[in-house]
A and B are shown apart, each in its own frame.
Chain A
Amino acid sequence: DADVTQTPRNRITKTGKRIMLECSQTKGHDRMYWYRQDPGLGLRLIYYSFDVKDINKGEISDGYSVSRQAQAKFSLSLESAIPNQTALYFCATSDGTGNYGYTFGSGTRLTVV
């Protein structure tokens, strides 16, 4: 099994719909992150969580919300999807020491039509 699992892998949804992207990790790390990747823009931080009771906004949190259900689970929601939220979304986890960087999931490709 992958260290970081994201579901779904691909999703097409309509404008205005609510959608949840899920992430789970088996690394046993406290820290988890959601990033968004757009062509030519690199990865931008949406939200991050350093433990179950800690949630922090990133650079581009507007239009998104998150829930840290457990140490291993961190979900990202789009309350009312819009077309410019079409992107590749990555979840990641880290141990906070910096020694090993972040471990990323395979990504969720979301298309809002």
Chain B
Amino acid sequence: GEDVEQSLFLSVREGDSSVINCTYTDSSSTYLYWYKQEPGAGLQLLTYIFSNMDMKQDQRLTVLLNKKDKHLSLRIADTQTGDSAIYFCAESMSGTALIFGKGTTLSVSS
């Protein structure tokens, strides 16, 4: 069945870059998304990429998409303690709803 895979934990030091990886299954996915969930809060859309793009940059965030390998990554430059959160990768399944990965917990130490 459909599945979105992410590593569960990532720990970095403040000021370093963070890279969160995701693999997805549906090659027909039109959009792929990254959501952020801070402790005790709902999900906030961070960024998304259209399937005909290879890369998207938005301030400190860079999304890379490799359609051949069905691999998506989110790079956060100059990671700050405020970036500590759970990051979810999600793919849009044709005719249904977003399918989410299990989430990657990013821990940033000062």
Interface residues in chain A, defined as those with a beta carbon under 8 Å from any beta carbon in chain B? 33, 35, 40-45, 48, 56, 58, 90, 92, 98-107
Contacts and interface: CB of A to CB of B under 8 A. Distances in A.
A41 B8 CA distance: 10
B33 interface: yes
A105 B42 CA distance: 6
Interface in B13-50: 30-31, 33, 35, 41-45, 48, 50
B31 A98 contact: yes
User: Chain B contact residues: over half helix, strand or loop, or mixed?
Assistant: strand
A28 B30 CA distance: 23
A99 B30 CA distance: 10
B45 A101 contact: yes
Contacts of A40: 8, 102
Interface in B50-94: 50, 88, 90, 92
Nearest to B6: A42
Size category of the binding interface on chain B: 20 to 34
Contact of A42 (B30, B88, B92): B88
Interface of B: 4, 8, 30-31, 33, 35, 41-45, 48, 50, 88, 90, 92, 96-103
Nearest to B35: A101
B102 A41 contact: yes
Given A90-B43, A106-B41, A98 B96 contact: no
